[in-house]
Amino acid sequence: GLIEFSLGKFRYFKLNKPFPEEAVLRHISSNATFLIFQIHSQYQNTTVSFSKTPLPSTSGTGSDIGLVFILRPEQSMCTWHLEAADAEPVQNMAIPLSYSEGDPVPGGCNLEFDLDIDPNIYMEYNFFETSIKFAPANLGYARGTDPPPCDVGMGQDSRWRLRYDVYQYFLPENDLTEQVLLKHLQRMVEVPQVKANAVKVVTLTANDKTSIYFSSLRAQGVIYNVIVWDPLLNTSAAYVPVHTYACTFKAMEGNCSSLGRVSTKVFFTLFALLGLFICFFGHRFWKTELFFIGFIFMGFFFYILITRLTPIKYDIRLILTAIAGSIGGIFLVGTWWRFGTLVFCMLCVGLVLGFLISSMMFFTPLGNLKIFRDDVVFWVTFSCIAVIIPVVFMGCLRILNILTCGIVGSYSVVLAIDSYLYTSLSYMTLNVLKRALNMDFRRAFTNVPFQTTDFIILAVWGMLAVSGITLQIRRERGQPFFPPHPYKVWKRERERRVTNILDPSYHIPPLRERLYGRLAQIKEFFQGEQSAGERTPLLL
């Protein structure tokens, strides 16, 4: 029932609920003024307490939890009590860290959470965003002295001079194993390793709210940590890191192991097959491409509308979106067939390409600029970029059409891959959709990992796009730019058949007579045969 720890050393152990353990740390240096003991597991909760009987003000429970122990003068040993909060055994990793009197105390000015000094980061997530919150820190102080007051004065001699650097670290894609998580968590515990391995997202001052929002990345492991820095003494300390997969391991359906619903896979697989055909043959099969473009236009806006206005389940929404998209595609094809408005059709085609290019631009760090957190600025800028594309290519419509076929058609393959295998490239358009669906998403940082899988899929996307564009440009060389107006061609052919007596179609009976003849044949098929023999008298 006793687990020995050493300062700065990680230790793995397993906890069972019926058998709580006691953790002990000996030989603490006299230079240390406070300790942070932290314990981590993948998704099961563990309780850490100063006493055998956990109390809200002296204990914490979670999968990433820690306690601060303020050392008394001459104290060289500390003890904690550990207990599994769930019925199943929990695999844990723990480490105690020591800090000196010049280091700021993480969570030392806590007024929101239960612990008096709370070094923990509290995390919540939903489909759209992941939020992290933490308590403000306090200045460091020597053993046996009172802590500096938290809310007396706002000068350089108070805790208001502290700065908070928020760091983000991505786990390997498509890897949900416990061993990998605990291994990478070791890189996010101490200040030098956090700075060396993670990416700093933002720096907060003491006047800012201690809460940050990120885009949720389902089934992608992410570790967050905060380093509090004292610019006057140039000292720093790390909070207890927290991790998330933006999904749950305990759910029977829709857990982290199941990437995407069946309806999503069917929808995007069929969409990718059509997109792949458009990528290589879209300009030749003009009406099929118009159906594809109309499907994207109507399906995108209809999904936003039905999601924001109704509480319909996701699978039904996807079916209705497919139906609405098909109606939009048929409408665009019908508009071209009847009116032959090439400019209108190419405007739709160019706007789809412009939407994708604008999404690419905001997928870069440009999208995290503070100015674009204003919805008006974001949507005006986004729309202007999308509109510029068809305007620039208005003088060479065939090139615009072929580029759209190759780029947009091949990107549909990326979306289909994402429903089977996680890839960050899908968030290129998904982030725009999230922003249109949720007003609060504007405050979220949209950082995503870009690892080996993403480079491979990006190469596949590029090869498909280049191959499709090259093939269509070579095949359409010397051909008419666009097919003729379908309604005029049909009308001219009909008039020719009516007036040309040598045309075999001239001698074809009208449609009504042909239908009556076909019905008569069917009627005779069901009539019984007449019996043989003579039934009328012979006439001389």
Whole-angstrom distance, CA of residue 28 vs CA of residue 142: 15
Q: Report pTM.
A: 0.87
In the chain, list all ranges with CATH 2.60.40.10: 2-145+158-244
pLDDT higher than 80, residue 20: yes
Residue given tokens 């009208």 in the structure block? 510
Q: How many residues does the chain have?
A: 540
Using alpha carbons, select from 95, 11, 38 the residue that is nearest to residue 241: 38
Whole-angstrom distance, CA of residue 446 vs CA of residue 458: 19
Whole-angstrom distance, CA of residue 412 vs CA of residue 343: 25
Whole-angstrom distance, CA of residue 264 vs CA of residue 345: 29
Using alpha carbons, select from 135, 356, 109 the residue that is nearest to residue 226: 135
User: Distances in Å between the alpha carbon of 529 and those of 79, 518, 522, 525?
Assistant: 104, 19, 14, 10
Which superfamily does 2-145+158-244 belong to? Answer: Immunoglobulins (2.60.40.10)
pLDDT tens readout for residues 64-119 = 999 999 999 988 999 999 999 888 889 999 999 999 999 999 999 998 898 999 99
Whole-angstrom distance, CA of residue 518 vs CA of residue 512: 10
Beta bridge partners of 164: 204, 228
C-alpha Rg value of the chain to the nearest Å: 34
Phi, psi torsion values for 124, nearest 5 degrees: -135, 150
Whole-angstrom distance, CA of residue 89 vs CA of residue 92: 10
pLDDT tens readout for residues 185-232 = 999 999 999 999 999 999 999 889 999 999 999 989 999 999 999 999
Angle CA 148–151–153, to nearest 5 = 85
pLDDT tens readout for residues 141-189 = 999 899 998 887 777 888 999 999 999 999 999 899 999 999 999 999 9
DSSP 177: -
pLDDT higher than 50, residue 540: no
pLDDT tens readout for residues 258-274 = 767 889 999 999 999 99
Q: What is the arithmetic mean of pLDDT over 2-12? A: 92
* pLDDT of 497: 66
* pLDDT of 88: 86
3-state secondary structure of 468: helix
pLDDT tens readout for residues 332-385 = 999 999 998 899 999 999 999 999 999 999 999 999 999 999 999 999 999 999
Whole-angstrom distance, CA of residue 382 vs CA of residue 535: 87
Strands 129-134 and 211-215: antiparallel
